[in-house]
Each structure stands twice: as C-alpha cells, then as structure tokens.
Chains A and B, each alone.
Chain A
Amino acid sequence: MSEVSFPLAIPSADNHLMTLHQEGPLFILHLHHKDNRFTTEFCRGILYALQVVEDIFNDSEDPVDMALVTTGEGKIYSNGLDLMHAVSYIPFMETYLLMLRRLLTFCIPTVAALNGHAFAGGCLLALAHDYRVMRDDRGYMCMNEIDLPANLPPGMAGLLRYKMTPDTFRNCVLQGHRFPAKQALDEKLVDVICPGTEVLPKAKELALKWAPKAKSGIIYRQLKEEMYADVVRLLSIPYNRLAPKM
C-alpha cells in the first residue's frame, strides 16, 4: 500500500475539507469545512481517511495499540446532511450510509470529540463511534428530522435504536429533543463531558485508554460487526426516493 504522509489534507491540498493527523498510536481526523455538512465529496473524504488508517492497521506485522479520534471545528461538530445536495444527487445517500457503516464497524476503537453541535446526520456520525466526549457548556446532540420534516431511512433509525435506550430513542426521534451535555451524559449518549478546551485532550485520553483493544487485530472489527449485525444490514438497504422526473 502506498505511503501517505501526515498531516494529510483530504480530499486534496487545494480542496482541504478535513485533515488526518497521526500522534503516536492515535489518528485524529479533524473535520473543518464550514459546518461539516455531508456531501458525496465530504463522505468520500471520510471514507478515504478511514481507508488510510485501516491500511496502516493491516500493514503492521502484529497488531498494535491504535485508535481514531474525530472532531469538528468551532461551534459545530457536524450539522448533518447537505440537503440540497442530497435531493439533487440521487446516489448521495448510498455514500453517506456506507460511511456510517464503515465507521460503525471500524477496525480500531473510535472516539468522537464533540466540540459543538451534532445535528441529524452529524449526530449519527457521533453515534457511529465507539465512544463520545462532549463539550459541557455549549452545543446539542439532536435528531431534528421531525421538525424538517424528513424521514429516517432504515439504517439511520436502526443506528439510533441500537445506540440508545428506548425512552431516549423516543424523545430523540419523536420530539426532536435537543440534548445538552449534562443530559446527554445522564442518558448515556456520551461517555465524558468537560469544558470546551478539554474536549480533544479528554478524547485522546479515552482513545489511549482503549487503543490496546486494537491488539485483538481483526477481531475488534468482527466483534463490532456481530454486535451491530442488524444495523449493518439496515444500512445496506438501498435508499431511493421517487423523484418527480427520474
């Protein structure tokens, strides 16, 4: 596999939507494109970053400590799907669902460092990680589809269902409830909350704590694939909308 050098600007240096860094056993994917909304290009950037990390993992002689941390920029982790793009480019959803699937069953431990808002598709991105650290003074986790209004494809609903307790799930989806950090912690949507400046350091700390589990090699991913078998299946259901013309 070809050598990449870090930090890695993705998709490219001229079109720099996110950066992949390496710090010892940790890989840090920093999303920094406006409010980090998902387009086909953005999702492919994330998929590419995941492939780079996975290739490095597979290349090592013996599996070693490794973990992945993702974080956003400023007030926003991610505001979700770029809706204009989603309705105008039919193949988009496939790429988005694939990205969720890959992250959900990623081969090493993953930690989402929620520096700010995680709305809709961005909330799902956060939940697709193994662990979450959230800023305690600003920002919400929220699935606001009910208010758009928009439906939830099978895989997206499935991911929520599997990562939340029933009452939280109901409030999240049917009320579009905005979960601030303290409530997110109480309802087990996140694992750690802390001041904004400590989010990334705490996320790295948590990542370092669980990085040794990557030594199980291919097993880490296989265990997640079994745990989330139903979600993987649901995320693989083709998403189509009957567009008026096509």
Chain B
Amino acid sequence: MAHQEVALPLALPSTEKHYMTLSREGPLFILHLHNKDNRFTTEVCKAIIHALQVVEDTFLAQKEPTEMALITVGDGKFFSNGLDVAHAREYIPFMDSYLTMLKKLLTFTIPTVAALNGHAFAGGCMLALAHDYRVMRTERGFMCMNEIDIKAPLHPGMNALLRYKTTPKTLRALVLQGYRFNSDEALAADLVDEICPEKELMATAKKLALKWAPKAKAGIVYRQLKEELSTDTIRLLSVPYNRLESSRL
C-alpha cells in the first residue's frame, strides 16, 4: 500500500464532525481530543485508531527510522471521562473498537506521552495508562477508576492493563476503592511521571516526548519490545467482550 501523504493538521473523523485534531511539530505528533468530555463511542475510537494509523504509516514510510513521538491531550477540564455508557450498552460491537484502540495505543510504534489537562476517569484513565508516559497538571483534575461506584465490571483486558501499569497497592485503591488520585498522589503512586502547573503542561509533555523520541530510531523493535512486555495484557485485551443482555439478543 503506497504511503499517501496526509495533510496535517488533520480534522477527525472529518471537518464537519471535528472531534479531534492530529497535528505535527517536527518529530512530535500531537493528537488533541476536543469533543466535550471526550467520551468514547465507536466513532471516537475509530477516529483515534485512524490517527494512530496515519502516524504509523508516516513512521513506516521513512527510509530510515528517525526520532518521533506522539502526545495526546484533552480539552478544558477533561482529558477523557471514559466510555459513553449509553452507546456502549446499545451497540454491542462497541467494546471491540474500544479494546482495539487501547491495544493499538499500548503497543504503539513510537514513544507516547499522555498530557493530562484534566479528569481521566474510567475508560479515560485507561487511555492515559495505555501511553508510555504521563504528565499531569496540578491543582485540578483526578485520575480515577470509578467502575466500583457505577457498578460496572472491568473487562479482563482492562484489568490486565491496570495490573501491568500500576503497583499492587495503587491497583487496589484504584479498582476496589474508586480512589480519586490528585496530581500529587498520582505522582507519589507512580501513576504519572511528572506534574506541573496547567500553563506548563504542553511544554512539559513536549519536553518529555522529545527526550524519548530518539528511541523510535529502534524502528520496528520499539513496538516489538512493547508487545513482548505487555504480552499478557494484549492477550486479555483480545478476549471478546460480550454481555448477556437480559432480554432479546
């Protein structure tokens, strides 16, 4: 498949339906999610997957691998508030897209940094944890897995991702308590790598991304290493998600 040049910045899914924007600054790709509280629907997940594919294709089209990294950031008070629960309940194939998105991000081909501009709840917390690195603003916003409080179970792959990226005590607080980690607590619990004031967030995230971008010169090996590290998580994220609907289907 010949690499087709995509013009950046790229509005996704489309200019009429503009939920997120993919742009480029030198070696850095920036995916800016700006659709209200950035909840996941099938459409949103597919757009993120599309953005990842554009970046991956650019990476692969090079003659020699160069420095590259991806930063994801939300908008306003929200990084992401998680799954659009109504949509998830009514459209059975949704979870497939969501889990695929997590899997692709988790093993993405270049270093990834999540810039937590605000709340990262439930599915949004997992999106953050699926990145290699996290920078979180201070003063406002929490990382939280509130499934316990909304009485929702966690798919095996979602559990595996948490297990893979957090220490046992933090995992227990996240999952069994629905604990809301502010930036200081998130840093102390190793949920994030750096914290900073809101106005310094993008600069700090870019600095961290530029620091690790040279690892992309490993070429396909960067991804292969991540796939081996997270092999159990990938396997579990691939377990089909089904819910027994009480009525009909």
- Stretch from B60-68, B122-130, B165-173, B179-187 contacting the other chain: B60-68
Q: Does B177 contact A (CB under 8 A)?
A: no
Residues of B within 8 A of A41 (CB): 1
Q: Does A173 contact B (CB under 8 A)?
A: no
- Tell me the bound Cα distance from A33 to B171 in angstroms: 51
- Stretch from A18-26, A177-185, A214-222 contacting the other chain: A214-222
> What's the tally of chain A residues with a CB closer than 8 Å to chain B?
34
A218 near B244 with CB under 8 A, answer yes
A245 near B1 with CB under 8 A, answer no
Which residues in chain B, 57-77, are within 8 Å of chain A measured between CB atoms?
57, 60, 62-65
> What's the tally of chain B residues with a CB closer than 8 Å to chain A?
28
Q: Does A171 contact B (CB under 8 A)?
A: no
B39-70: CB near A (< 8 Å → 1, else 0) gives: 00000000000000100110010111100000
B235 near A236 with CB under 8 A, answer yes
Residues of B within 8 A of A238 (CB): 107, 223-224, 227, 234
- Tell me the bound Cα distance from A238 to B226 in angstroms: 11
- Tell me the bound Cα distance from A85 to B3 in angstroms: 12
A85 near B1 with CB under 8 A, answer yes
User: Interface of A with B (CB < 8 Å)?
Assistant: 1, 39-41, 51, 54-55, 58, 61-63, 85, 88-92, 105, 217-218, 221-222, 225, 232-233, 235-238, 240, 242-243, 245-246
User: Interface of B with A (CB < 8 Å)?
Assistant: 1, 53, 56-57, 60, 62-65, 91-93, 107, 219-220, 223-224, 227, 234-235, 238-240, 242, 244-245, 248-249
| 23 A-B contacts (beta carbon < 8 Å) | A51-B93, A58-B91, A58-B93, A58-B249, A62-B248, A89-B1, A91-B53, A91-B56, A105-B240, A217-B249, A218-B244, A221-B240, A225-B242, A232-B240, A233-B235, A233-B238, A237-B235, A238-B224, A240-B227, A243-B219, A245-B64, A246-B65, A246-B220
